[in-house]
Amino acid sequence: MNEHNQAGFRVLPMPAPIPADILDAYANIVTSHISDSMQRICGVQGLRPYHAGKRLVGRAITVKVRPGDNMMIHKAMDMAAPGDVIVVDASGDVTQALIGELMQIHAEVRGIAGFVIDGAVRDIGAFRAADFPCYARGNTHRGPFKEGPGEVNVPVSIGGLVINAGDLIVGDEDGVVAVPPDQWTYVLGKAREQAAREEQRKTAIRAGKDKRDWIDERLRKLGVIA
C-alpha cells in the first residue's frame, strides 16, 4: 500500500458528473418535498444556513477532516468543478472554524456552488453579504490549522446522514438533503407528486373545503374518542 494513500490521509478519484437535466430538474424542488419522498429519515440534521437564502444544488465532493484542520478542504476545493458542493465531516466540532471569508471568495471565483460543514465557520457576515450558500453546525472566530490528516471523496456522516461523493446535494431555507444517484429519478417524480398534492390542499384550505374528518377517524381507531 502506498504510505501516502492510507485510510485517514488520502485523496480518492472524483465521482461521475451529475447530468445537467437532473440538476436543472431539482433546481426548484424544495427540500421538504425531497425529504417526504425519502420516507422523512434521509435529511441532514442540526446544520443551519449562514447565507441570505440562495438555493444550493450540486454534486457532493466529500471531505473528512480532523477537527480544527482544513488542509484537505483546500485540496477538495482545488479538485472541484464548477457547480460542486464541498461537504465536510468535521465530527460536529465547533471549537475551530474550518472556512471563512478568504475560502468563500476562493470558492466563488472557482464556481463552487457552496459548503455543507458539519463543524464551524467564521466571517459569517461575508457569507450573508455574498449570499454564498453555506450550511454549518456553528460559528467561532477561532481559525483552523493546516496539517491534516484527512480524506477526500470518501463516505462521510453529516448530521446523521451518510453522504457519498457524487450524491446530489440540495439546500434551502429548511436545510440540506442528499440524494444518491440510483434515487435521482424516483425521488424527483415523488417530490413533484408531493408538490402537486400540497397545491391541491392549499387551494382546498383557502376555499374552506379541506376535509378534516380524518382526525376523528384516526382518534377513534386509537381509542381516544368514542
CA distances (Å), 53 to each of 56, 110, 118, 129, in order? 9, 20, 19, 11
Collapsing DSSP states into helix, strand and coil, what is residue 91?
coil
Is 66 annotated in a binding site? The answer is no
* Amino acid found at 142: R
Is 122 annotated in a binding site? The answer is yes
Q: Is the peptide bond before 149 cis (omega within 30 degrees of 0)?
A: yes
* Rounded distance between C-alpha atoms, residue 177 and residue 13, angstroms: 23
Helices (H), the chain: 20-26, 31-36, 71-79, 101-110, 124-130, 184-206, 213-221
* Rounded distance between C-alpha atoms, residue 202 and residue 199, angstroms: 5
* Amino acid found at 10: R
Dihedral, CA of residue 122, residue 48, residue 114 and residue 176, to nearest 10: 160
Q: What does the block give as the cell for 84?
A: 460542486
Is 103 annotated in a binding site? The answer is yes
* Rounded distance between C-alpha atoms, residue 144 and residue 95, angstroms: 9
Is 100 annotated in a binding site? The answer is yes
Total count of residues recorded for the chain = 226
Is 47 annotated in a binding site? The answer is no
Q: Which residues are annotated as a binding site for substrate?
A: 100-103, 122-123
Q: Which residues are annotated as a binding site?
A: 100-103, 122-123
